[in-house]
Structure 1
Amino acid sequence: MARTVAHVIVDALQELGVRHVFGVVGDALNPLTDAIRSTEGIDWIGCRHEEAAAFAAGAQSQLSGTLGVCMGTVGPGSVHLLNGLYDAAKSRTPVLAIAGQVPLAELGGDYFQEVDNDLLFRDVAVHRNTVTSPDQMPRMLEAAVRAAISENGVAVLTVPGDLGDREPTDDRPARFPRAHPVTRPDESGIREAADLINAGGKVTLLVGRGARDARDAVMALAERLAAPMVLTLKAKEGFEGENPYQVGQTGLIGNPAAVHALDSCDTLVMLGTDFPYRDWYPTDCKVVQIDLRESNLGRRTPVDTGLAGDVGATLQALLPHLDVAGDRSHLDAARRRFEDWGAEQRRLADPGHDEHGLGRLRSALDNRSGDVRPEALAAAVNACASDDAIFTSDTGMATVWLSRFVTLHGQRRLLGSFNLGSMANAMPQALGAQLWAPDREVVAFCGDGGLSMLLGDLMTIKEYRLPVKLVVFDNRRLGMVKLEQEQTGLAEFGTELDNPDFAAVATALGITGIRVTDPAELQDSVRRAFATPGPVLLDVLTNPRELAVPGRPTLQQGWGFAVAKVKEVLQKGHGE
């Protein structure tokens, strides 16, 4: 068989270990999809929307640590990839996008569906190029893949529709040398950081995803310094389970213990994190930051010592220079606060919370219709899910409930649009995750707004018989936007959603649908969803007025809610 441009690309992807290519078929991609059809070990996954394809490819890349691949045909097909590719770029995970293009002779002539892909993807891609001759292969493919992997970003390779079935004169296979250097700071930087920490009194660690591969070293650091460990959301995976130092998250989704651990420290040590919310950093302490990317040092808060290097290698060099803390009161106080807060959260998550005592009084104020509390739903899922489950979460309130009520112990994994903050990511990321790990449980925490945005790819889940469990927090609202409006004193506006019965929609598509409207049915329904083979959509009507109190609530926020509620009452009184 002749080795066409399309076969050069597909053979190289298969050799790299890529098992799935996500996209929507189209004329410019026909040579490529036909090459996939005839190649063992790599499968075409036809999605209903290219945005879902890009999210799925990004999910596989994040889970595997290797290249994810998606494709979009000429013009609109490639445009639709853009949001999912931005998510991959912001997540710093390698994804190769193959974009179709008009015939070579028509380039630059405003041909039907022609889009300048090199311009379109300029901001999102670390590398982009258009193949204009078959003889540029495999060299141009090698450059794109090397860029994506070495820079942990998106590479876009555009292939005109009439080049895919042409033969390059160079028939050698593509080659991808792989090197993973480990870097650490010089000795003077190590000693400077050690001196600062040793003189620093109470130490708190802020740990991010960049430290995930250095768990043992981070745990040893926390023990030596008797330091409470505040986790970013992306560090829940790897650091939350079996960790006597962690005190949860800070920020709007955080808790008072984490806020206190930060605000009361004399020295903050940041490990592999670019936590973006400046208002939540302590202001009266020394700061040491360790990050592989030198450009991250001091970007969010001023640092006294910044060390550019691999977190694990740097800590291995740093630990011998650190004194053992004799006073554990800072850690003990933070942990007590965290345990007290956790006990209160468990009370909120009790399915019978609204039936007695303060819960009954609370429900009379904020849950008169008797909807399911989202805390109870998240806690029930946490109890049923396996120890190696992969969770995905939509941006918004679904992530708040996951962060507070799902514990990432064992081999659990977590994906979300935590840097881009896109809607509609959870379901397509779950699609990619389930294909990557067919024998593991995959659970998507879906907001009703996010699910409905890319609802069509439920059919992809059905078509490929993926046993994903889709948990829909159906509060008939864009809940996070509602919260944002009200905390600034604005009346809720434009956030209400006139939803269908999502369980009935799933059933019509051939997916098991379960709808929960009564809190008394919650536990049994969640257990049934997880016990049912194949894909299941669990549509749970949750309380739209639920508040997630941040770790450091302000008087201004409280006043904003009060003003907003008055405005909303007045609106209803005028029939609006």
Structure 2
Amino acid sequence: MTTVAEHIVTALADSGVRQVWGVVGDALNPFTDAIRRDDRVEWVGVRHEEAAAFAVSAQAQLTGTVGVCMGTVGPGSIHLLNGLYDAKKSHAPVLAICGQVPSAEIGTDFFQEVDNDTLFADVAVWAHTLSAPAQLPHLLEQAVNAAYAQRGVAVLTVPGDVGDLDVPKHTTTPVFAPSPAAAAAPADAVRRVAELLGGDEAVTLLVGCGARTARDQVLELADLLGAPMVLTLKAKEGLEHDNPFEVGQSGLIGNPAAAKAMDACDVLVLVGTDFPYRDWYPKGKTVVQLDTRGEHIGRRTPVAHALVGDAEATLDALLPQLARRADRTHLDKAVDAYRSWHDGQQALLDPHHDASLLGRARAVFDNPDERIRPEALAAAVDRLAPDSTIFTSDTGMSTAWLSRFVTMRGTRRLVGSYNLGSMANALPMALGAQALDRTRPVVSFSGDGGLMMLLGDLRTAVTHDLPVKVVVFDNGRLGMVKLEQEQGGLPEFGTELDNPDLAAVATAMGLTARRVTDAGDLDEAVAWALAAVGPVLLDVVTNPDEVAVPPKPTLAQGWGFAIAKSREAFESR
């Protein structure tokens, strides 16, 4: 006979699932034993369930196939929540199998009992409890099908006594439905947009990750319209390299050229993006939005023309209806402004910048302790990492430096908590990415605050032979919070971190590690880390006072920063 747990594990393995992430526990014992006996599935035991959920969220985003994690009764399942919310916000198909107290005890406030169906109601597109073997295979099918169809999280709860029960002899094998086929937006809507774009009004494109499979089409659209292309962070992958129309990112981590390109246009075309920051959208523009999800249309900025459909298929229908514009003035101005800004950033990348006359003058104010500039670290990794590298980044300043100084060339991939904005995501996402292919380079841009939050899972890299390269921007700060406080006119408070020697900690945990304090050693240290065998941590002591100037700094922000720095000088220096 086959048990409930065996039936579920076999079905997932048959569908291509090769790993399950989690922490073992009583209600999961039937499942982990079934995994132990199925050579097709690897159990990846983590030190915190949150890391498991982040890891499979990354895997689902990278592969498009369902990622599977497990949490046992009560606290074990609760710990999954943050990583599952990341999967929800990233539209990643994930199945979480959660334990529950024995069936007879449900509803009695038993030890560790939690109402999982209620707990996961907001994060999950589907959440139900399997109470009897007769509910198989259809309950499992519904869970996986919902995760794929709605690109989200499905939670299947199994009481501790149910996993060991025998499945009826003639129970059929689960059949999981394929993802729906991509379809273009309606022809009439496409025609109206073609008529709008056939005029001579200046057009700017804001392109998101929903257009990553439509690279050729988006580039052709930009060329036909003479339109600069602003990319969201998640669109860097696949759309940034060899793109003569690209002018960087918008938002707080963006640049002035991108902001000007959006402000100076007459028509703003959103392609595959739900860019959430309302303040960064220009006012008074005619907006076209192309998205597969109708619920995204118009929720960030008023939209005059809605195209609900797949980006690639819709652009294939639109492009033949457009003629190439001769006037490239709007495009040329935006690209020239971006190149000028980009060239200005390059000075900071020289490890010896602060030794120059201009560098010494600036360093008096923003780097008095002569620490390594984080821009130089990000640029060194960009230069030296292979073109096949998968990058992850912690929410905060490490993402800002990656956004500005790492180019997604070649087959590079990028994953982060860019919709949820959680701390501590970079390491577990790197572990998940590395587990997909242990021969492919994976680099985590970790903040010191994020790394310390899930520090225990450094050991997971050693335990499961995951050769991730963890690059730590060790500025002794919660850097983004510090910047937010100072721009608001507040002296920094509560952001300082009394870190240990993170390289020494990593060495004690079994990783190869090195601490870098001299900018002159940066390139050699990064090259060493990338070449080393096995998991590596590079602890780089960076400047905590580095300022990532926003693309459109306001007078209020400038005064606020000046006031904050004067207060800090009186109070701490």
TM-score by length of 2: 0.99
Q: Please give the residue correspondences for 1:97-246 in structure 2 after superposition, counting only pairs within 5 Å.
A: 97-169=96-168, 170-246=170-246
| Contact preservation (8 Å) 2:103, 2:159 | yes
User: What is the match of residue 85 of structure 1?
Assistant: 84
1:248-299 CA-to-partner distances (Å, cap 9, x unmatched) read: 1011100111111111011111100000111111113211110001111111
Superposed displacement of residue 231, structure 1: 0.1
Asked if residue 247 in structure 1 is aligned to residue 247 in structure 2, the reply is yes
Distance 2:204 2:367 in 1: 38
Match runs of 1:477-496 below 5 Å: 477-496=477-496
The residue type equivalent to 1:111 in the other structure is F
Quick check: 1:270–1:289 contact (8 Å CA) kept in 2? Answer: yes
- d(CA) in 1 for partners of 2:513, 2:393: 19
Note the alpha carbon deviations across 1:320-365, whole angstroms, 9 max, x for none: 1112111011111111111111111111111111011211111111
Distance in 1, matches of 2:15 and 2:83, equals: 22
Structure 1 distance, partners of 2:563, 2:21, is: 47
Question: Is the Cα contact below 8 Å between 1:262 and 1:281 reproduced in 2?
Answer: yes
Q: What's the counterpart of residue 297 of structure 2?
A: 297
Deviation at residue 208 of structure 1 after TM alignment = 0.2
Partner of 1:56: 55
| Count of residue pairs brought into register by the alignment | 572
Q: Residue 65 of structure 2: SS of its match in structure 1?
A: coil
> What is the distance in 1 between the residues matched to 2:45 and 2:554?
48
Deviations 1:475-502 (A, max 9, x none): 0000000001110111100000000000
Cα shift readout 1:499-536 (whole Å, capped 9, x = no counterpart): 00000001111101110011111111111111111111
Q: Give the letter aligned to residue 320 of structure 2.
A: P
- The answer (yes or no) to whether the contact 1:267–1:287 under 8 Å persists in 2 is yes
| Correspondence for 2:273 | 273
1:433 and 2:433 correspond = yes
Distance 1:550 1:325 in 2: 32
SS at match of 2:248: coil
Inter-partner Cα distance in structure 2 for 1:572 and 1:287: 48
Q: Which residue of 2 aligns with 1:313?
A: 313
Query: Match for residue 454 of structure 2?
Result: 454
Which aligned pairs between 1:55-74 and structure 2 lie closer than 5 A? 55-74=54-73
Offset at residue 200 of structure 1 (A) = 4.9
Write out aligned runs for 1:398-413 (5 A): 398-413=398-413
Instruction: Tell me the SS of whatever aligns to 2:246.
Output: coil
Aligned to 1:41: 40
| SS of structure 2 residue aligned to 1:129 | strand
Corresponding residue for 1:342? 342
Regions of 4+ moved over 3 Å:
none
> Does the 8 Å CA contact 2:269/2:289 hold for their aligned counterparts?
yes
| 5+ residue gaps, structure 1 | none
Paired with 2:96 and 2:389, the residues of 1 have a C-alpha distance of: 28
What's the TM-score, normalizing by structure 1?
0.98
SS at match of 2:572: helix
2:502 corresponding residue in structure 1: 502
After TM superposition, give the deviation of residue 180 of structure 1 in Å. Answer: 2.5
SS at 1:565's partner residue?
helix
- State the AA in 2 paired with 1:152: R
Q: Give the Cα–Cα distance (whole angstroms) in 2 for the partners of residues 267 and 150 of structure 1.
A: 33
Residue 415 of structure 1 is matched in structure 2 by: 415
Alpha-carbon displacement from aligned partner over 1:136-172 (angstroms, at most 9, x marks no partner): 1111111000000100000000000111111121432
Letter in 2 for 1:446: S
**Amino acid corresponding to residue 564 of structure 2 in structure 1:** A
Shift of 1:179: 4.2
Q: Distance in 2 between matches of 1:16 and 1:168?
A: 19
How many Å apart are 1:377 and its aligned residue?
A: 0.3
Matches within 5 A, 1:336-415: 336-415=336-415
CA displacement, residues 380-426 of structure 1 (integer Å, 9 cap, x when unaligned): 00011110100000000000000000000110000000000000000
Structure-2 separation of matches of 1:185 and 1:519: 52
Instruction: Indicate the residue corresponding to 2:518 in structure 1.
Output: 518
Distance in structure 2 (CA, Å) of the matches to 1:294 and 1:220: 25
Contact 1:389 1:443 in 2 (8 A): yes
Q: SS of the counterpart of 1:279?
A: helix
| Partner-residue secondary structure (3-state), 1:252 | coil
- C-alpha deviation, 1:233, in angstroms: 0.2
Deviation at 1:563, TM superposition (A): 1.1
For the 8 Å contact 1:373–1:543, the answer to whether it is kept is: yes
Equivalence for 1:548: 548
What amino acid is the match of 2:503? A
Amino acid at match of 1:558: G
**How many percent identity over aligned positions?**
62
Q: Secondary structure at the match of 1:543?
A: coil
Aligned with 1:248: secondary structure? strand
